[in-house]
């Protein structure tokens, strides 16, 4: 099928590349001409495993990039809206980009189109799109509007799309529902995974995804409720970590014991400095706004947000306690992205911690394997940037680990101790065990676990400048 994807961000770009991988002809459209130029020249723009491979495989063959939305709509049978829906000042989702895309689609309509709402939107947005199409002169017989939310995790977005747990489709008629089944046909019959050159399946991939035909309103609610629930799990384990720290319990053992209950599960049950990114913060706020509009005071969501904010404050307080005073201290920070395997720094807890410490007049050197360039746009010259993790540690008063990159869990701890001015490590992601740090002679502070405090003198450091 011929498909137009409006929006070349995380969702739109991944969806376009993966639909081309499934055999469809795709035009991905964006108003940002510089972005389109870069994509046409071979850039992938975002850090996602397998995405560069798919773009290289299909660019100019089944996948095209353009800023001509009208022509893309005219050529396509299915038009996917994948534009941003950021939170506004009141916490509601800003649907202005969705409205603009809808208006442009209406102007370009030359035959029946199935409009697929893939952006994360409040319940009843589907109905508003239908209304907007009508107000812009389109007959109800000329289009269908379908809700088909994405369930992609940054860092594993390509495999999440090609090996999904579930595909949710909300439509109002059989014609649209049938077309959507055709769109995902190779995933539903399992033929994609056995095809030549298929992206490898994750170890825990379902053989066949759950496919749910439902109403648009139900589909929209499933998406918002899913993100809010996952954010709640993160906040729940972080709230429990406060009790663990106060009582001398080990939150990692609590996590294993709690997560082994099949009714609960271990996913998103890891204590840390909180959630971030482009989805959870805005979706929890938007869901709370939706509840308020429906006359419901969803107090649980406010608690989820508050716990997340408090977790950052608690970590900064932990830094102050470990260092006695922080003014003028030199800190090494590993991690800038909001999570590992992505370059996304939007609403990143790491960035928020850094900004808070900068306000307290710390000197900070940072390193991240994927997010350095995006972080420079945000932090500018307020911090120093190291080319690799050990360079960041040279003569620092303490090391802070703020993102759970795998390479940060494999540091040479002997070298870390040699490079640091004082043997102090604050781990906001619990990447190490207290036993490892004790053996390495490092003072170690983590989330929801008793601290490791090494009292013996620090050995003299040699040739700290000669590192590489």
Task: Quickly count: other Cβ atoms within 10 Å of residue 166's Cβ.
Answer: 12
Token pair of 268 as six digits: 């998103």
Token pair of 115 as six digits: 């409009």
Enumerate the active-site residues. Answer: 279
**C-alpha distance from residue 33 to each of 36, 38, 79, 214 (Å):** 5, 9, 20, 37
Classify burial at 402, counting beta carbons within 10 Å of its beta carbon; exposed 0-12, middle 13-18, buried 19 or more. buried
Dist. CA 18–CA 457, nearest whole Å: 56
Token pair of 229 as six digits: 């629930």
């Amino acid at each position: 099928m011929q498909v137009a994807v409006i929006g070349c961000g995380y969702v739109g770009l991944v969806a376009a590349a993966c639909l081309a991988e499934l055999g469809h002809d795709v035009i991905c459209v964006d108003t940002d001409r510089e972005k389109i130029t870069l994509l046409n020249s071979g850039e992938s723009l975002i850090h996602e495993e397998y995405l560069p491979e798919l773009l290289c495989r299909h660019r100019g063959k089944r996948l095209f990039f353009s800023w001509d939305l009208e022509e893309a709509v005219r050529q396509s049978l299915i038009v996917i809206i994948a534009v941003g829906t950021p939170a506004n000042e009141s916490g509601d989702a800003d649907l202005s980009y969705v409205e603009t895309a809808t208006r442009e689609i209406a102007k370009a309509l030359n035959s029946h189109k199935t409009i697929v709402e893939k952006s994360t939107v409040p319940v009843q947005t589907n109905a508003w799109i239908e209304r907007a199409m009508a107000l812009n002169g389109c007959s109800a017989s000329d289009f269908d509007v379908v809700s088909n939310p994405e369930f992609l995790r940054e860092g594993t977005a390509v495999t999440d799309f090609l090996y999904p747990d579930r595909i949710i489709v909300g439509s109002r008629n059989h014609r649209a529902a049938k077309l959507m089944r055709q769109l995902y046909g190779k995933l539903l019959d399992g033929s994609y995974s056995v095809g030549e050159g298929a992206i490898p399946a994750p170890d825990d991939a379902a053989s066949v995804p759950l496919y749910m035909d439902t109403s648009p309103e139900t589909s929209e609610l499933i998406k918002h409720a899913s993100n809010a629930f996952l954010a709640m799990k993160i906040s729940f384990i972080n709230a429990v970590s406060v009790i663990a720290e106060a009582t001398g319990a080990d939150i990692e053992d609590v996590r294993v014991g709690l997560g082994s209950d099949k009714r609960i599960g271990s996913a998103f049950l890891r204590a840390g400095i909180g959630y971030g990114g482009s989805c959870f913060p805005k979706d929890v706020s938007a869901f709370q706004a939706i509840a308020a509009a429906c006359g419901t005071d969803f107090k649980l969501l406010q608690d989820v947000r508050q716990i997340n904010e408090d977790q950052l404050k608690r970590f900064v307080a932990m830094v102050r306690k470990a260092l006695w005073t922080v003014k003028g201290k030199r800190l090494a920070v590993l991690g800038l992205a909001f999570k590992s395997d992505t370059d996304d720094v939007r609403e990143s807890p790491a960035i928020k911690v850094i900004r808070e410490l900068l306000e307290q007049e710390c000197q900070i050197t940072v390193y991240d394997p994927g997010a350095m360039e995006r972080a420079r746009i945000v932090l500018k010259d307020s911090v120093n940037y190291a080319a690799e993790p050990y360079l960041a540690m040279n003569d620092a008063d303490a090391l802070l680990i703020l993102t759970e990159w795998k390479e940060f869990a494999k540091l040479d701890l002997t070298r870390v101790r040699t490079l640091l001015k004082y043997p102090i490590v604050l781990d906001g992601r619990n990447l190490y065990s207290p036993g490892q740090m004790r053996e390495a002679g490092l003072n170690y502070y983590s989330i929801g676990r008793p601290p490791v405090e090494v009292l013996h003198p620090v050995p003299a450091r040699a040739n700290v400048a000669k590192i590489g």
